[in-house]
Amino acid sequence: MKAVLLKPGSGAKVEEVQEPVPQKGEIVVELIACGLCGTDVERIRGGYSAGKAVLGHEAVGKVIEVGEGVDWLRKGEVVVPHHHTNCGECYYCLNGSPTMCPEYRRHHFDPGGFAERFRVPEFIVRRGAVYKVRGLQDPEEACLTEPLACSLRAVKRAGVREGQTVAVFGVGAVGALFVALLRGLGVEVLGVDVNPRRLGLAEKLGASAVDARSGRVAEEIRAMTGGRGADVSIVATGNVAAVSSAISSTRNGGVVCLFGLPPSGSRLDHDFSELLVREVSLISSNAASEDEMVEALDLIVRGKIRGAELITHRFRIDEFDRALEVFEKGEGVKVVIKP
What is the pLDDT, as a whole number, of residue 11?
Answer: 86
pLDDT over 90 (residue 8): no
CATH for 159-284 is 3.40.50.720
Model confidence band, residue 222 (pLDDT cutoffs 50, 70, 90): very high
What is the pLDDT, as a whole number, of residue 142?
Answer: 98
Query: pLDDT digits over 123-182, tens only?
Result: 999 999 999 999 999 999 999 999 999 999 999 999 999 999 999 999 999 999 999 999
Query: pLDDT digits over 285-301, tens only?
Result: 999 999 999 999 999 99
Model confidence band, residue 263 (pLDDT cutoffs 50, 70, 90): confident
Q: Is the pTM of this model over 0.75?
A: yes
Model confidence band, residue 273 (pLDDT cutoffs 50, 70, 90): very high
Query: pLDDT digits over 145-157, tens only?
Result: 999 999 999 999 9
Burial of residue 167, with CB atoms counted within 10 A of its CB: 0-12 exposed, 13-18 middle, 19 or more buried = buried
Domains 2-148+287-338 and 159-284 share a fold: no
pLDDT over 60 (residue 50): no
Residue 191 bridge partners (DSSP)? 168, 209
What is the pLDDT, as a whole number, of residue 207?
Answer: 98
Model confidence band, residue 48 (pLDDT cutoffs 50, 70, 90): low
Residue 116 bridge partners (DSSP)? none
Q: Give residue limits of the domains in the chain.
A: 2-148+287-338, 159-284
Cis peptide before 263 (omega within 30 of 0): no
216 φ/ψ angles, rounded to the nearest 5 degrees: -130, 40
CA distances from 291 to 86, 109, 198, 322 (A): 11, 20, 30, 34
Class of domain 2-148+287-338: alpha beta
% of residues, the chain, pLDDT over 90: 88
What is the pLDDT, as a whole number, of residue 53?
Answer: 77
Report long-range pairs for 240-244 (Cβ below 8 Å, ≥24 apart). 240/266, 240/267, 240/268, 242/169, 242/170, 242/192, 242/212, 243/268, 243/270, 244/268, 244/269, 244/270
pLDDT over 80 (residue 49): no
